């Protein structure tokens, strides 16, 4: 390789602008990219020694200024990258053609994250390469930063392109490991680099003859994570000592940026997983109501927020609809949201009134910390009564879209946010007519820096009414399409916050499909329950289910009467399945057990488990409900 010249006479500045000079047809493109102008003609012979010294000093000052400007611009370009590919691309685009004619960037595979111990063996994988290409049709022209991933090519003066290895295993006692441990960049013609480069590029491969190279280790905060090879062609001035400092600056900024990008990538992965686990994978399909939902993060760089939604089936075919918003956008907010959501699910299974659920959520938020604030709206829909009970804790009010197309903002007391403490919550009970759609949402849908919350709510109401007009007064708009149409109202400046959206279409259960009785806790109750159940099934045209239903109703009612002190409730619901619910005031849940041959009882739940499609028991604040469903669909109705 050519030794580094000691004279700088006639050398162009580092950060030159290629467009200011005329490029000859077969001239190396990399040399053209680094030239600022045609070199000035040699001075006339016989200048005074003092004048020559002044000219040399001025030229050196200009070159140093160009070098500093280049380093500043290059490091800014590298620092603009957020993910790994952007940072590596920034290094390549900054280096070629201004600093070198070609570059190879190797990174450790896999890249260690943070303080974790890197895996063995030490393997480097070619992440990216950029080079200049010679165009025979148009002469030597710099095609800036053309990339060929995993199949990198270095430009040879005779147009022979030499592939470099994709993978390189660094031997602990090899020459490459020694250079990487040294951290400092080295010239390609040094003894250490002459031994290390063939190991990096692959067996029998090296930098082409006449080319100049710099091998620069990439060291992050704690360890070497890769290497970069800068190459100049034979038509370009050789690297000099000051270029080692430039290569060191580029390598250092790139390595630190890669370290941060890897940490950010791991954090984004954790955030995505956390967000996925915090929100429901799918919505339930309770009787008498259809559900749809949407969730949008605030931005790609802030995927995790505190917004959540939930739909929780309750005893009696009811369903709890929940939407909430924890203040902030971080994994801490998401973690708090997860705890509040879990608490809400637990409280819902206790069948507490909505205002009591919010009261306990408020207490839980205070236990999590003094600054843990959230808003929440909790509603319970009863498809049998066609009513909905709503309690609010500082959340935007829901919007009810009626079947005829009228959109109504429900008048629900706002209440104080969760976490304030010492505040009473109030619940209101409203009509929920069949065919109506209830929309629960977080403030990200209606509030932004361009509009206040009440303006956004009014725009949402108008959007729902306009969408309903398209389907006519006798048909409700499709639920999924309605959610998409609502999100379409968002403008470019309206995505300041993440958005949770939950839509519920109320179908209800007709009174003719419900049979309800009270049974006194006495020995005659099971026999009366059998007769009532058979009578209802006959009225519904379900006589083929009568024998099995009678048997299961008798077993469940017998168990309830044994422990109840107040009247037992029996309810039959006819939907796509037949559902039977038996309630009593005893909080003790029944358990299925295997009866011995000598036992006279203990087989009731065994029969329920064998004959029913599904069954379960739910503890209530007033006792419990045991229910089962038959798998056959009703075949007739009167």
**DSSP structure class, residue 370:** T
Q: Is 545 helix (H, G, I), strand (E, B) or coil?
A: helix
Q: Are residues 570 and 520 in the same domain?
A: yes
Q: At 253, list the tokens.
A: 């900024």
Identify whether 2 is part of a domain. no
| Number of domains the chain contains | 3
551 and 483 in a single domain? The answer is: no
Q: 630, 613 in Cβ contact below 8 A?
A: yes
Q: Are residues 312 and 204 in the same domain?
A: no
CA dist 320 and 313 (Å) reads: 6
Last residue of a domain, one of 454, 470, 504: 504
**Digit-coded pLDDT (tens) for 50-93:** 777 777 777 778 878 888 888 888 889 888 888 888 999 999 99
Planar angle of CA 601, 603, 604, nearest 5 degrees: 100
Sign (positive or negative) of CA dihedral 107, 112, 113, 115: negative
* C-alpha–C-alpha distance, residues 535 and 551, integer Å: 14
Predicted confidence (pLDDT) per residue in 173-232, tens digit: 888 999 998 889 999 889 888 888 888 888 777 777 778 899 999 998 888 889 999 998
**C-alpha to C-alpha distances, 332 to 53, 374, 500, 613, nearest whole angstrom:** 64, 13, 18, 42
CA angle 522, 524, 528 (to 5 degrees): 120
CATH number of the structural domain spanning residue 538: 3.30.565.10
Please spell the DSSP secondary structure of 91-134, one letter per residue.
HHHHHTTTT-SEEEEEEESSPP-TTPPPPSS-EEEEEEEEE---
CATH code, domain with 329: 3.60.40.10
- Strand, coil or helix: 364: helix
- Residues 500 and 513 occupy one common structural domain: no
**What's the average pLDDT block by block, 10 residues per block, for the chain (638 residues)?**
40 40 38 38 54 76 83 88 88 89 90 75 87 47 37 39 72 89 90 88 77 89 88 87 92 91 81 77 89 82 75 89 87 84 90 92 88 92 95 95 92 91 90 95 87 90 91 87 90 73 94 93 94 94 92 92 92 90 89 56 74 85 87 46
Q: Alpha carbon of 556 to those of 44, 525, 577, 608: distances in Å? A: 115, 11, 18, 8
Q: Does any domain span residue 144? A: no
Describe the chain by its helix, strand, coil percentages, rounded to 5: 35, 25, 40
Length of the chain: 638
Secondary structure string (H, E, C) spanning 553-579:
HHHHHHHHHHHCCCCEEEEEEECCCEE
Q: Residue 314 falls within a domain, yes or no?
A: yes
Q: Are 300 and 259 found together in one domain?
A: no
Kindly state whether residue 231 falls inside one of the protein's structural domains.
Answer: yes
What CATH number is attached to the domain comprising 237? 3.30.450.40
| Any domain includes 135 | no
Tell whether 634 is covered by a domain: no
205, 334: one domain = no
Instruction: Give the domain range for residue 442.
Output: 278-504
Last residue of a domain, one of 504, 534, 550: 504
Instruction: Give the separation between CA 118 and CA 259, rounded to whole angstroms.
Output: 13
User: Are 248 and 376 contained in the same domain?
Assistant: no
| 28 domain-assigned | no
Strands 212-219 and 224-232: antiparallel
**What pLDDT sits at residue 514?**
93
Q: Give me the residues paired with residue 568 across strands.
A: 519
Domain co-membership, 437 together with 527: no
Helices and strands counted in the chain (H then E): 13, 24
Residues 226 and 284 in one domain: no
Q: What is the pLDDT of residue 133?
A: 54
Regarding whether 494 and 518 lie in a shared domain, the answer is no
Yes or no: say if 207 and 213 are a contact pair by the CB < 8 Å rule.
Answer: yes
Residue 636 domain-assigned (yes or no):
no
Same domain, 416 and 331: yes
Inter-residue contact 124 to 167 (CB < 8 Å):
yes
Please tell me whether residues 118 and 69 are part of one structural domain: yes
- Number of Cβ within 10 Å of residue 605's Cβ equals 22
């Amino acid at each position: 390789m050519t030794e580094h010249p000691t004279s700088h006479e006639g050398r162009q500045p580092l950060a030159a602008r290629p467009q200011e000079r005329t490029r000859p047809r077969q001239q190396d493109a990399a040399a053209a990219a680094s030239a600022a102008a045609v070199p000035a003609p040699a001075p006339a012979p016989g200048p005074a020694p003092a004048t020559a010294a002044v000219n040399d000093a001025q030229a050196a000052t200009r070159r140093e200024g160009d070098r500093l400007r280049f380093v500043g611009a290059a490091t800014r370009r590298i620092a603009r990258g957020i993910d790994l590919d952007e940072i590596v691309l920034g290094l390549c685009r900054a280096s070629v053609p201004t600093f070198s004619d070609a570059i190879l960037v190797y990174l450790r595979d896999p890249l260690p994250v943070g303080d974790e111990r890197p895996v063995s063996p030490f393997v480097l994988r070619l992440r990216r390469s950029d080079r200049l290409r010679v165009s025979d049709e148009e002469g030597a022209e710099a095609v800036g930063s053309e990339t060929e991933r995993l199949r990198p090519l270095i430009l040879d003066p005779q147009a022979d392109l030499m592939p470099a290895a994709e993978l390189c295993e660094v031997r602990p006692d090899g020459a490459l490991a020694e250079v990487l441990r040294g951290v400092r960049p080295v010239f390609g013609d040094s003894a250490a680099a002459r031994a290390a480069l063939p190991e990096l590029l692959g067996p029998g491969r090296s930098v082409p003859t006449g080319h100049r190279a710099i091998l620069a280790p990439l060291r992050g905060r704690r360890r070497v994570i890769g290497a970069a090879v800068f190459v100049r062609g034979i038509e370009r001035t050789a690297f000099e000592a000051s270029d080692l400092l430039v290569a060191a600056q580029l390598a250092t900024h790139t390595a630190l940026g890669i370290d941060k990008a890897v940490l950010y990538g791991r954090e984004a992965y954790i955030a995505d997983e956390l967000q996925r686990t915090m929100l429901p994978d799918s919505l339930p399909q309770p009787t008498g109501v259809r559900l749809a939902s949407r969730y949008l993060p605030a931005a790609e760089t802030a995927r995790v927020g505190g917004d959540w939604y939930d739909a929780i089936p309750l005893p009696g075919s009811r369903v709890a609809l929940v939407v909430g918003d924890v203040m902030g956008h971080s994994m801490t907010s998401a973690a708090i949201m997860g705890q509040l959501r879990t608490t809400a699910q637990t409280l819902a299974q206790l069948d507490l009134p909505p205002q009591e659920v919010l009261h306990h959520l408020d207490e839980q938020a205070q236990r999590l910390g003094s600054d843990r604030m959230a808003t929440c709206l909790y509603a319970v829909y009863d498809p049998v009564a066609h009513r909905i009970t709503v309690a609010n804790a500082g959340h935007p009010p829901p919007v009810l879209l009626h079947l005829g197309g009228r959109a109504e903002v429900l008048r629900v007391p706002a209440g104080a946010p969760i976490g304030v403490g010492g505040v009473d919550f109030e619940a209101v009970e409203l009509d929920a007519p069949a065919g109506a759609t209830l929309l629960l949402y977080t403030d990200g849908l209606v509030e932004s820096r361009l509009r206040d919350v009440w303006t956004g709510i009014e725009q949402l109401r108008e959007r729902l009414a306009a969408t309903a007009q398209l389907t006519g007064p006798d048909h409700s708009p499709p639920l999924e399409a309605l959610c998409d149409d609502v999100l379409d109202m968002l403008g470019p400046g309206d995505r300041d916050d993440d958005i949770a959206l939950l839509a519920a279409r109320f179908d209800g259960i007709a009174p003719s499909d419900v049979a309800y009785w009270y049974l006194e806790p006495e020995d005659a109750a099971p026999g009366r329950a059998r007769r009532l159940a058979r009578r209802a099934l006959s009225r519904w045209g379900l006589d083929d289910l009568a024998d099995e239903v009678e048997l299961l109703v008798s077993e469940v009612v017998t168990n309830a009467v044994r422990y109840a002190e107040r009247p037992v409730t029996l309810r039959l619901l006819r939907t796509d399945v037949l559902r039977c619910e038996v309630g009593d005031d005893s909080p003790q849940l029944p358990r299925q057990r295997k009866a011995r041959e000598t036992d006279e009882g203990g087989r009731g739940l065994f029969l329920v488990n064998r004959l029913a499609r599904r069954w379960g028991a739910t503890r209530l604040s007033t006792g419990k409900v045991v229910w089962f469903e038959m798998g056959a669909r009703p075949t007739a109705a009167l």
